[in-house]
Amino acid sequence: MRVTSKGQVTIPRDVRESMGIHPAETEVEFLQDENGRWYLAKAKTTNKTTSRFRTAHKTGKLTMSTDDIMALTRG
């Protein structure tokens, strides 16, 4: 797996799915064991704050007007 010049790597889809990692929603952390090995772990979050825009995208319907959909995003 290559590391970009910015220090980024792509986590394979099957790994993300099995760990429950979702783009822009999940924090991850790197942990080191007593032998010096590093592990990727899904971070435990205590304060889950979901953006109103993330929740609004699930409620829009094709039958809704643009004004109705915009009203959903404005809370």
Count: domains in the chain? 2
What CATH code is carried by the domain that includes residue 28?
2.10.260
Whole-number pLDDT of residue 54? 67
Three-state DSSP class for residue 16: helix
Residues 34 and 60 in one domain: no
- Ordered mean pLDDT values, 10 residues apiece, the chain (75 residues): 93 93 89 95 74 65 78 79
| Domain hosting residue 7, numbered range | 1-44
- 0.85 surpassed by pTM: no
Whole-number pLDDT of residue 69? 81
What is d(CA 61, CA 75) in angstroms, rounded to the nearest whole number?
16
Confirm if 73 and 64 have CB atoms less than 8 A apart.
no
Residues 36 and 51 in one domain: no
Whole-number pLDDT of residue 2? 92
